[in-house]
Amino acid sequence: MIYLDNSATTYPKPPGVIRAVHNAVQNYGFNPGRGGYRSSLRTAQKVYEARQTVRAFFHAPLVESVIFTASCTQALNTVVKGVLKKGDHVIMSSFDHNAVARPIHRLQQEGIISYSIAQVDINDDNATIENFRQLINERTKLIVCTHASNVFGFRLPAERLCALAHSYGLLFCLDAAQSAGLLPIDMQRDRYDFVCCAGHKYLYGPMGIGVLLIGNDNDVLPLVDGGTGSVSDELIMPSFYPDRLEAGTVNISGIIGLQAGIEFVNRQGIDRLYERENRLIRSLSKELSAFRHIRVHGQSSLTEHQAPVLSFGVEGTDSETVVKYLSSHADIAVRGGLHCAPLAHRSMNTIDTGTVRVSPSAFTTQNDMRSLVNSLRKFR
C-alpha cells in the first residue's frame, strides 16, 4: 500500500514508537499517581518524563500545564466547554475542523454562547487579521482557530491572531492537530493560552492520545470529573493541573508512545520534516496542475502559508469515486469527502463534491508521489 492519508493519522509509526508502546504494555502496566509501590512510582516517573518531553517540545511554561487527553478533539472540547460561560462570544476561522465548530455550535444551540466565523484570506494575512478584528465585540472571550487547514493546508497567522486576542483582553486557543510536529510552536514566545494537539498525527504517537497545553492562570472547568489520586476526601475536582483535567486512569502506552514520537520528530528535525514534505507536495501540485482533468484546490502562492497537504478534484467526478479508484487499481490510500471540515469546503466552494486529499509523512517518498501521478494520469 502507498499510504498518503497522514493528515488522518501517520502510518507507519517509527520503530522507536512501536518499541515504546510494546515496552509500556509489558513493563509499565501500573496505575500512576495512585499507588505507593515501586511499579506504580516507576510508571508515574515515565509519565512525568513524557510530560517534560512535551513541555520542552512546545516550550510550555510549566510541566504541570501539560494535560494528557484522549485526543485533540477532547482537548478542544475541554477549552471550549471549560472556558466559555453563559453570554460569552467566541470567534473561529472559516477553515476550522468540526472538532472546534461542533462544540461551539452546540453551545450556541443551547443558548449558552454566541459565535462568529472569520473569513480567512489565504494570500493576505493582514486581511485575515482584520476579518477577525471586526468580529470582536464586548462579549467576546475567546478566539480559536486552526494552525493549518486539514483540507487545503493553508496556514493561518496564529502568532498574530494570538497577539490580536491579547490586545483586546481575549484568550486564544490554537488547534494544532495538523501542525504539531510540522510547524514550530513556542508557547512562551507566542504566549498562546491554549494549544491542542493530536498525538497520532505529525507527532507520530499511537492513536488515543492527545495533549492540551495551558499557558495562563485561567481556571478551566473539567470536561470529565472523577478520580485523580489526589485530594480524594473532597467531592470536587482538584484545583491544580494536571489533575484538574485528567480524571481517570491515563493512557500509559499512549503517553509513552507519544514521547517516543516526539523524540523521533526531534531527531529528524521539525524544519527538515516540513521542508521535505512540502517539497513533495509542491512537486505533486505542479504535476497535477498540468493535467486538464484535474483541479488542484487553492495552493497558496506563498510557500510559508502552506502546510504539506494538497486537495484536488477530478472534473466530472466526485472525490469518493477517485479515492475508490486509487485504492482498487493502485492500492493508494488517500482521503475523499469533506474531511470533517465543512466550513473549509464552503469557503473553497467544494462542499458539493468534496476533495481528494493527499498528505505525506516522514516516510513518504518521491516514488510514492510518482505512482499517484501515474494512476491519476490514467483516470478518466
Which of 34, 106, 166, 279 is close enough to bind another protein by CB under 8 A? Answer: 34
Q: What does the DSSP 8-state code read for residue 247?
A: -
Give the x-and-dash track for 235-254 against another protein (CB under 8 A): ---x-x-xx-----------
Quick one: three-class SS letters along 29-41?
A: CCCCCCCCCHHHH
Phi, psi (deg, nearest 5) at residue 87: 95, -10
Q: Least Å distance between CB 269 and another protein? A: 27
Cis peptide before 103, with omega less than 30 degrees from 0? no
CB of 241 or CB of 363, closer to another protein: 241
CB of 32 or CB of 254, closer to another protein: 32
Is 313 in a helix, a strand, or coil? Answer: strand
Which of 16, 229, 337, 342 is close enough to bind another protein by CB under 8 A? Answer: 229
CB of 9 or CB of 259, closer to another protein: 259
Q: Least Å distance between CB 38 and another protein? A: 10
Which of positions 39-78 make contact with another protein (CB under 8 A)? Answer: 41, 44-45, 48, 51, 63-64
CB of 137 or CB of 188, closer to another protein: 188
Residues 44 and 63 sit within 8 Å (Cβ to Cβ): no
CB of 64 or CB of 88, closer to another protein: 64
What sign results for the dihedral spanned by CA atoms 245, 246, 247, 251? Answer: positive
Q: Least Å distance between CB 56 and another protein? A: 13
Number of neighbours of residue 90 by Cβ within 10 angstroms:
25
In this chain, which stretch among 14-22, 37-45, 205-213, 281-289 interacts with another protein, using CB under 8 A? 37-45
Listed residue (369, 368, 363) closest to 15, CA to CA: 363
Cis peptide before 12, with omega less than 30 degrees from 0? yes
Which of 217, 233, 304, 352 is close enough to bind another protein by CB under 8 A? Answer: 233
Which of 1, 36, 109, 292 is close enough to bind another protein by CB under 8 A? Answer: 36
- State yes or no: residue 130 binds another protein (CB under 8 A): no
Amino acid occupying residue 308: P
Q: Least Å distance between CB 255 and another protein? A: 12
Cα separation of 330 and 324, whole Å?
10
Q: Least Å distance between CB 60 and another protein? A: 13
DSSP strands (E only) in the chain: 2-3, 66-69, 89-93, 114-118, 140-146, 171-175, 194-198, 210-214, 294-297, 310-314, 332-333, 356-358
Q: Least Å distance between CB 196 and another protein? A: 20
- State yes or no: residue 221 binds another protein (CB under 8 A): no
Q: How many residues bind another protein (CB under 8 A)?
A: 23
Phi, psi (deg, nearest 5) at residue 114: -125, 160
Give the x-and-dash track for 296-315 against another protein (CB under 8 A): --------------------
C-alpha cell at 205: 504517537
Which of 25, 56, 127, 231 is close enough to bind another protein by CB under 8 A? Answer: 231
Query: Rg of the chain's alpha carbons, rounded to an integer?
Result: 21
Listed residue (134, 131, 76, 146) closest to 106, CA to CA: 76
For cell 494549544, what's the residue?
195
In this chain, which stretch among 80-88, 191-199, 222-230, 367-375 interacts with another protein, using CB under 8 A? 222-230
Q: Least Å distance between CB 204 and another protein? A: 24
- State yes or no: residue 35 binds another protein (CB under 8 A): yes
Residues 275 and 304 sit within 8 Å (Cβ to Cβ): no
Q: Least Å distance between CB 33 and another protein? A: 4
Binding site for another protein (CB under 8 A): 32-36, 41, 44-45, 48, 51, 63-64, 228-234, 238, 240, 242-243
